[in-house]
Every structure is written in structure tokens, then in C-alpha cells.
Amino acid sequence: MPKIHPTAIVDDQVKLADDVEIGPYCMLNGEITLGSGVQLIASVTLQGPLTVGSGCVFYPGASIGFGPQDAKVKFGDPTAGVTIGSDCIFREGSTVHAASNDHTPTKVGDRAFFMVNAHIGHDVSVGNDVVLVVNTAIGGHGQIQDRVILSGGTMVHQFGRVGKQAMTSGGTMLSNDLPPYFMAVERNTVVGLNMVGMRRSGMSREEIHAVKSVYSEVFRKNPPRRELLEMLEERAKNSNAVNDIYEFVNAAKRSICPIGGRRLTRAIDEQTRVEAVE
């Protein structure tokens, strides 16, 4: 039987695994499913629709599943809610907002670690093994790929994208997309590669070398978008990691964070300019 503190309020629609623990002053409302081993330490507020995988831990003040911070959305409007994977940690004051639609939920993968006051906006997709350090925020519709580390106070613009195993320094502001394996500081400025992250992930020396070569020999030249994609596509034939970068850049609808502050031209504007010249 689940262990529920007598001060907790649990809606009749809530479904709990047998070993779930719900601490004092928690509130669970709506269609909520909590998997095996989930712990709500105290004063946690969950709003359905919400599905939480096994082994997740929610610390006091965590608030998960309430609607978007959007004036058009009212409390009680239909939503696909939130889905959370397994073995995630949500520290004090962390928040995840529900989807602004009724078909695709806000998503958090497995083994996410959200530190104090980390925020995930509506319709965001977060991959596996992601770390959001204190006071980090992801705007609505953002996409955060696997093994990303966003250091304290990082702000990601709505619809922003951060690629696999990328990393930011504290206080980074991202209004452009940050490619896989890159490291960013300040505002949209790339300063290197996440070498430690690549090694810890088990990447081979060959793959790491391929990423380093692309960084120094392609991105540092700041080529036009079409040329950039051609160079990446050619190198991607021999490297899965470079292919990750190619696919990320190819899908971009906004600028890519430049190296050392040099601006890589906006994808759509650059494409229009090239076509006009031709």
C-alpha cells in the first residue's frame, strides 16, 4: 500500500504504485499516475494530467503540471499535461508546466536532475540525463537533447534548442540554437567543446577528434549556411557525432550560436540571400 501522510490531499483520480510515499502537506489533483518508488518529500503540488515514471523524487515546493504562463490559457483548459521518465530528481521550487495543447505533453526524459528553482515551460521536450542547475529556465516549446548540462542561471529562449551533450556556463543567455557538444557563455557565444562531457559519455577518440576537426575547420570559418551544411554532410558520412551536429544545424529555424561572438547568419535570411544572388 502507498504511504500517504494524513495531511496530504490526494484526488480520487490519482493512481499510485504500491510503494509510493507521499509526505506531509502534498496536494495531488486530477489524472495523475505515479510509478514505483516515487517519493514526494513534503509540500509538493502535482496537477494532472501527469504521468511520472519509477524512482522519481520531489523535494518541498516542487510544483508540476500547472498550465502555461500564457494569458490566453485559463486554469482548467484542456491540456495533454506532462510526462516524466524514471529516476528524476526535482529539488526545491522546481517547476514543470503543462502543454498548451491537448495532444502532445510537456516531456521530461529519464534521470533528469532539476536543481533549486529550475523551470521547464509549456510544450518543452527534455531528453535523458539532463542537468538544470539552480535558477535555470527553459522557455515554452524549447528542446533540450540528451546529456545537456545548463549551469546556474542559464536562460533558454522560447523555441530554443540545445543539442546533445552541450553545456553552458553560469548566467548564459541563449536566444540562438546551441549545437551538440558545444560550450556557450554569456549571450549566444560559443567558446569551445564539452570535452569532459564527451569523454564521460564513452565517446571514442575517433569521434571526439571528428567533432574537434569540425569545430576548428568548419565552424571557425563561419561559412554561409548552404556551404556549412555541405561541409557537415560530407564529414557526417564517417562520424555519428558529426551527423548529430549536421542534423541539428539542418533543422535550425533560427541562428546558430557563433564561435567567440562572430555571428553566424540567420538560417532563413541567409538562404533567401543566396537564392536571390543565384
Q: Mean pLDDT by 10-residue block, N- to C-terminus, for the chain (278 residues)? A: 97 97 98 98 98 98 95 89 98 98 97 98 98 98 98 97 97 96 95 94 95 94 90 95 96 90 45 41
The SS3 of residue 174 is strand
Q: Which region holds residue 200: left if phi is over 0, alpha if psi is between -120 and 50, else beta?
A: alpha
Nearest CA to 230 out of 211, 250, 213 is that of: 250
- How high is the pLDDT of residue 261? 54
Q: How far apart are CA 234 and CA 75, in angstroms?
A: 50
pLDDT of residue 72: 87
| Domain boundaries of the chain, sorted by first residue | 1-144
**231 in Cβ contact with 218 (< 8 Å):** yes
For 1-144, which CATH superfamily applies?
A: Hexapeptide repeat proteins (2.160.10.10)
- Contact, 26 vs 38, CB < 8 A? no
Instruction: Enter the pTM of the model.
Output: 0.90
For residue 120, what is the enclosing H or E element? strand 119-120
Please answer whether residues 60 and 92 qualify as being in contact, where contact means their C-beta atoms are separated by less than 8 angstroms.
Answer: yes
Cis ω before 49 (30° cut-off from 0): yes
